[in-house]
Chain A
Amino acid sequence: MRPITIKVGIIPNADGSAMFSFGKTTAIAAVYGPRPLHPKHKQISDKALLQTIYMMAPFSTTERVRPGPSRRTQEICKVTREALEPVVCVEEFPKATIDVYINIIEADAGTRTAGINAASLALADAGIPMKDLICSVAAGKIGKEYVLDLEGKEEDATDCDLPIAYSQRMKKITLMQMDGDMSVKDTKETVNLAIKGCEEIYKKQRQALEERWMK
């Protein structure tokens, strides 16, 4: 895995916030809520709506990214939300919304995984009831070697890019995507490698939260 940098509580205006980097990929997440949801037709009568908005800053890549939603960012919004929803206690806040804004300010592959890690920390920082922290990392296979946390060049070289999101306590995977071709055996090995990566990330997330609040 690339060197991980974490800082929690970096956006004073937000209820919770965090910055998470895998090497040169940096994501900043800001959480607002639970707060009233407008427009009313979006309200869910028995739980809160978890809105995840993922965006890449135009300067995050070598070629300028056009601001605004794209099919790719919409997909990432959806998978991010689905990765976090199983642990966020949305039933405690009917008709409200919990807004999670994820901004990628520097992109070198693994942006959705960095984004999920940052979002998980930001949700905890905001004091939102959660049953676990979610960790996320991508893995793959280049030649005969299984690799963890692919950077840009590695993503181009790999047979398959497999990002996962993992709940440490429940030992369950909340997100899994697979982009490429791999045998069943290789897939199992890659997923196991990614889970080990998540266990490392969990320790760093804990440490960062403790530093923010208890020191």
Chain B
Amino acid sequence: MVTKKLTPTAVRRREFLAGAAMLLFSATRVRAVTISGHLPWTPNAGSPPSKIKLGPWEFFTGEEGRAIEAIADCVIPPDPETPGGREAGCAVFIDRQLAGPYGRQDGLYIRPPFLKGTKSQGSQSEAGPAQKYREAFAALDRACKSNYSGKAFADLSAAEQDTVLKGLESGDLKLDGADGKAFFEQVIKDIQMGFFADPIYGGNRDMVAWKMIGYPGARYNYLDWVNRHNERFPLPPVSMTGRAEWTSQAR
């Protein structure tokens, strides 16, 4: 399979086609009602997901954006069959997640005091993912520039980038002002999550990850297939917005 390169022109065109802001977890207040006599149903009361808006970074700075795209390609390198993390949109996925409720820890319990606990008690940090990313990128930038004669992470060679990430993974490379190992764990989790989530969130563009593994996507009925053992399911994936060929994303 040949995947077409995502050209800058295509990206710009897609900016204009972007949907509304993300409604997910939006703080709509719903009033309590008394329900009797019949099931409550009103038209358009559901909250379907919104497609992320393509375009400039919403959370990352330009430098952070270059770094996260470089990391995305280290974690998921491009190969002849499947694009890498950058082209699949994993950096965009993380950017939009950090700019949204997830980045702000919406819905989590963030009352003080913030005490240090045991590992089994879970994170007790006041800082949410957005703040942690910001601090870690600043620290990573300082570490790269001091170790690699002034170069930012994105400007290192692929081998040097891998060395830096391996250092964070093992804990051998300590960051000043951030927990490098924790950042590494977070960033590979987020990149891989973006790769496999529905393309509506910005990663897994054109369902490249789902095609790669053979996951048929947002389908709803395998009744004809449950008893067909050890046969490859023949249909290509669909996403929540359908197939790329059917939608405005088609290129």
Q: Do A and B bind each other?
A: no
